[in-house]
A and B are shown apart, each in its own frame.
Chain A
Amino acid sequence: MDETSKIIKTVSSVMFPFVTIYGLYVILHGHLTPGGGFQGGAIVASGCALLVVAFGSDAIAKRVKESQLSLLESIGALGFISLAFVGIATTFFYNSLAGTKFLFGKIPPYGSNPGYLSSGGLLPLMNLAVGTKVIAGLFAIVLILAIATRKKGGRSK
């Protein structure tokens, strides 16, 4: 495949931070608004896919190693399961952080409210863990598929 044009590269570079920020917003506000770990992670990963398309898979693969991504993915999954283990004294997946004075511990008033970021107990943390896993996982999938198909195309040309 030939190089993509300068316009594509510039626009993707400009867009990438915005897409990432939006994705992280969706992950962080998962317990308040529609969205959450998977959706936000998918948005961030689509930003990464944009870079793969614009700069070519080889250029990206030089910067990001697939083993790093799988490490990140394992960390995300482990984080999720560890958070589920936190409540094991009561039950598995028990939200033991809700109603405490720690971060995210606040219980919001019943009914319509403007939304409190510091609520939801373990849920925001779980969203973060899932988000990490999804970003790493989807990015790795996109990268691997791109490299796999490119090598084939390169040989036939």
Chain B
Amino acid sequence: MNSIITHSPALLIAIPLFAAFITPLLSRIHRRARDGFVLIVLAATELLALLLAQDIYANGIRKYVFGATLPSLTHPGTMSIPVRIIFEIDGLSIFMVLISLTIAFVAAIYSSSFFKKEDGLDRYYTLLLLVTVGMVGMELTGDLFNFFVFLEITSIASCALIAFWVDRGESLEAAFKYIVISSIGALFVLMAIGFLYGQYDALNIAALANSIQFTFIDKVALVLLLAALTMKAGIAPMHMWLPDAYGEAPPSVTIAVVAATQASLYGVLRVCFTLYGKGLRLNMAAVGWTLIGLGLLTIFIGVTMALVQRSLTRTIAFAAVGEIGYMVIGAGTALAAGAQNFATVALKGGVFHIFNDVLDIGLLFLVAGAIIYATKERDLNNLGGLAKRMKCTTVFFLIGLLAVAGMPPLNGFASKILIYESTYQLNPIISIIAILSSILLLAIFVKIFYSLFLGPELPHLRDVKEVPKGMLVAMAILATLIIIFGLFPGYVLQTIVDPAVAALSNPTSYINAILGGA
């Protein structure tokens, strides 16, 4: 048991990676065997992550050195800097890993029945597992170059998944836009890594954070990293790839891409709070205010654009853009506020909102997928009166829309109230805009709810049936999590969010875990 936890950081990557390449072999034998295998693997990985999480909450940061004679041997021999690829897992990393794996698991359940009639699924599962590996790797790694590699794995695999429906021109177009923009972004990340390596001869995040001097080149590297990662996180006005990609991918892929976007946001947080964290109190306020401004812009553009969309998935995608703004505002407020008390509250809200957003938006996309599955239709003008035929789906959509619009007592409200109250202390205007946008979001989803489910039955939708059980189970998992998070927000905050926030606001412990033991 103990040794499993010791090796779990590596296993979290290795098991899905191994499974990714077994699935094409398995699918030659039997379809169901492959689907079941993927589910078992993802469930096992999730379990492993939970075990690791428990250990981290009890014993603090865990590190894993690949290929060393001991998992904790960061400085072999007389080395003064850490060599080898090191995984460093603190509260924030494991928080993000839990998000990614939960979503991957739900996506696998959902796709096992969503794609029942389609071919080419062996590749699909390989890519889905690779996206999982990429996300988890980004979140676990303590090495900047390794971060880049996993970032690229995530973007390549998710691009291939977005183009899964190759017969739809829109999917191809979205995938092409996604790969162009993300490969350019990733190249600038690599450039920034080069700048930092050239200065400090290190790639380890902890070692770099320890020696960072805020020279001109460091600032250039910060700019490149920030620009590329905020773009990958979908912050306005660089959000335009996001509605395309979210809207045109198969819904089970979309939720994986949503989680991958959050992994990029994790990158932003890691860069701002840990890598450049030593000068946090002095220098980062300007970055914080920029992030707040961009966050407000993101919320505003996302929400207002969602109102005028005609495609169901695209509307939800723009709402997802808006939701990202809240997290960015939380992080930006924490940076701008410096040492004041509400900085932690803002950060708590922002970090908690990552999980909530993935659950809410994920549930909405799954419902959208169910509607597409049942009706083969995604134009809002051609849909209506589905409530009589698809009762469970209606309930799930109602839960999702209330959660995403931040209605009490669901989870969206719990994190948004933290953001509202802390930003109000920084500047009331921020929270007023945030609240108004949230109300507008509710209005949008009431509109969608009305045009999808209410009203009289439309003639071409008379023979619509409820979707298969697998999809309902996937939606039910997310809905249950939403309700649990909504009813016990204090408990969730104390258990998983507080360690994450503590890890962010205390970069020294991250540095000392690697360098202090030397």
Task: List residues of chain A with CB under 8 Å of any chain B CB.
Answer: 70-71, 74, 77-78, 81-82, 84-85, 87-88, 90-95
- List, sorted by A's number, 17 A–B pairs whose CB atoms are closer than 8 Å: A71-B25, A74-B22, A74-B24, A77-B20, A78-B21, A81-B17, A81-B18, A85-B18, A91-B64, A91-B70, A92-B7, A92-B10, A92-B11, A92-B64, A92-B66, A93-B67, A94-B68
Q: Which of B57-78 contact A (CB under 8 A)?
A: 64-71
What does DSSP make chain B's interface, helix, strand, loop or mixed?
Answer: helix
Q: Give the distance in Å from the alpha carbon of A65 to the alpha carbon of B477 in the complex.
A: 41
What does DSSP make chain A's interface, helix, strand, loop or mixed?
Answer: helix
Indicate if the CB atoms of A91 and B71 lie closer than 8 Å. yes
Indicate if the CB atoms of B67 and A95 lie closer than 8 Å. yes
Contacts of A78 in B (CB 8 A): 18, 21-22
Contacts of A95 in B (CB 8 A): 67
- Among A84, A85, A91, chain B packs the most CB atoms within 10 A around the CB of A91
Contact A94 B69, CB 8 Å, known A77-B21, A81-B17: yes
Contacts of A81 in B (CB 8 A): 14, 17-18, 21
Q: Give the distance in Å from the alpha carbon of A85 to the alpha carbon of B66 in the complex.
A: 11
Give B267 Cβ to nearest chain A Cβ, in Å.
23
Contact A91 B69, CB 8 Å, known A78-B18, A81-B18, A84-B14: yes
Q: Residue A91 contacts which of B18, B25, B67 (CB distance < 8 angstroms)?
A: B67
Of chain B, the residue at the smallest CB distance from A84 is B14
Give B132 Cβ to nearest chain A Cβ, in Å.
15
- Among B17, B20, B21, B68, chain A packs the most CB atoms within 10 A around the CB of B21
Contacts of B17 in A (CB 8 A): 81
Contacts of B67 in A (CB 8 A): 87, 91-95
Indicate if the CB atoms of A91 and B10 lie closer than 8 Å. yes
Q: Give the distance in Å from the alpha carbon of A121 to the alpha carbon of B66 in the complex.
A: 16
Indicate if the CB atoms of B24 and A88 lie closer than 8 Å. no
Q: Give the distance in Å from the alpha carbon of A91 to the alpha carbon of B72 in the complex.
A: 10
Q: Residue A70 contacts which of B24, B65, B68, B69 (CB distance < 8 angstroms)?
A: B24
Of chain B, the residue at the smallest CB distance from A95 is B67
Indicate if the CB atoms of B22 and A93 lie closer than 8 Å. no
Contacts of B24 in A (CB 8 A): 70-71, 74
Contacts of A88 in B (CB 8 A): 7, 10
Interface string of B1-36 (1 = CB under 8 A from A): 000000100110010011011101100000000000
Q: Give the distance in Å from the alpha carbon of A49 to the alpha carbon of B182 in the complex.
A: 29
Q: Give the distance in Å from the alpha carbon of A84 to the alpha carbon of B67 in the complex.
A: 9
Contacts of A74 in B (CB 8 A): 21-22, 24-25
Give 9 new A-B contacts, CB below 8 A, not counting A71-B25, A81-B14, A91-B69. Answer: A74-B22, A78-B18, A78-B22, A84-B14, A91-B10, A91-B70, A92-B11, A92-B66, A93-B66
Q: Give the distance in Å from the alpha carbon of A94 to the alpha carbon of B84 in the complex.
A: 11
Contacts of A92 in B (CB 8 A): 7, 10-11, 14, 64, 66-67
Q: Give the distance in Å from the alpha carbon of A93 to the alpha carbon of B17 in the complex.
A: 14
